[in-house]
Every structure is written in structure tokens, then in C-alpha cells.
Amino acid sequence: MRDRYGRNEYGESFLLARRLVEAGVRLVSVIWMYFMPNGRISNVWDTHGGTAGLGSITGFAMLKEKYCIPPLDRAYSALLLDLADRGMLEETLVVTVGEFGRTPQINPSQGREHWGMCYTGLLAGGGIRGGQVYGSSDKLAAYPRDNPVAPEDLLATIYHAMGISLESEVRDQENRPQRITDGKPVLALFG
């Protein structure tokens, strides 16, 4: 089982996430970071390229390294298959997102800078109909073209999948009611 997920911190984290869900934990987060050989932490999805602690390789080369796409592909697919095999995927929503997108232009280090105008998220299980793409970008992948989804809409979609009323409120430190989101769920994603 550990080999299937990958014997690295990412594979082990995804396997632990599955075990926590199986034990009844209702919310599990896996944070993706990497300890560089110099001991510093690197957000390896920050693919500008040229990071000295990572060997000053290009941003494109970073994606192919042992800390980026290969372990994510292995662990993520193992998690989804494992949840499906155990009959847990339909009731478990797996959300994969970063905090922003990357520029459509390649920089001199063959990497990409920060870009908040257009980015991708993955949703699986939890009532989401598989095998679909929702929305699209312009031809440069710079801006949404069709069916843009704002962060508050993603949050509303997650709450909808969890069966949490979007009219729910929480109280802030001053005891004032605050709605949990002003977003609208993307209902077209559900099966």
C-alpha cells in the first residue's frame, strides 16, 4: 500500500489522509512543501525557477522533480482509487487547489510568476460527476473565458457537497453574525 502511494512525505501524507477519513475525521488537509538540502522550506509549486536551494534549475524542470508532479500524480491517483475501492469516494470530497495560478508567459528562468486571474482546481468524489471539465480560459490561459468560478463559489460548492446550508452563519469576535459564504455553488458539477 505504501509503495502504491509513494514512499515519500507526499505519498505518506495522502495515505494518512485516507486512514483519517476512514477513521471518521471529517476534514483533512495535506499541505505540500519541501525541505531543501539547505534545510529551508520551499513551496515547490512556486515555479519561478532559479531557486538556489533547489539547484537553480528552470521552473519547467522543477515540475518534473521528485517534489512536484510525479509524487502528486502517484499519491493523488492512489488516493482516489483507494477511496473508490473502499466505497468511500462518493461520500468524500477531495479538493486540490493552490492559492493562485501562474502567469501564461514563461519567464527567463523557464518558469512562471504569480497570477491570480486564472487557475485550476480539481474536485473528485463527494457527489461530483467525474470526467468533466468546467469552465475554460482564453487562448493564452490568462483570463477565464467560459463559466468562471470565484473562490467564494468554490467554497459554496464545497459546502453544498458537505450538506452545509449556505445560509449558515458564524459569529465573529464581536458576536456579529457572518454568512459562511456569499458564493454560489457550481451545481452543474454534481451527478
pLDDT digits (tens, 9 = 90+) for 130-143: 999 999 999 999 99
Residue 170 pLDDT: 96
Where do the H-state alpha helices sit in 23-170? 59-63, 69-85, 151-162
Mean pLDDT, residues 72-82: 97
Q: Which of 125, 141, 123 lies closest to 186, judged by CA?
A: 123
Residue 66 pLDDT: 92
What mean pLDDT, rounded, does the chain reach? 95
Q: pLDDT class for 191, splitting at 50, 70, 90?
A: confident
Q: Whose grid coordinates read 523557464?
A: 110
Residue 48 pLDDT: 92
Residue 81 has pLDDT above 90, yes or no: yes
149-161 confidence digits (pLDDT tens)? 999 999 999 999 9
Q: pLDDT class for 126, splitting at 50, 70, 90?
A: very high
CB 58 within 8 A of CB 106: no
How many angstroms separate the Cα of 46 from the Cα of each of 30, 39, 43, 97, 187? Answer: 17, 17, 6, 13, 31
More confident residue, 3 or 43: 3
CB 100 within 8 A of CB 119: yes
Distance CA 157, CA 164 (A): 10
What are all long-range contacts of 117-121, with beta carbons under 8 Å and residues at least 24 apart? 117/142, 117/143, 117/144, 118/142, 118/143, 118/144, 121/95, 121/96, 121/97, 121/149, 121/154
Residue 36 has pLDDT above 90, yes or no: no
Distance CA 189, CA 30 (A): 23
Residue 125 pLDDT: 97
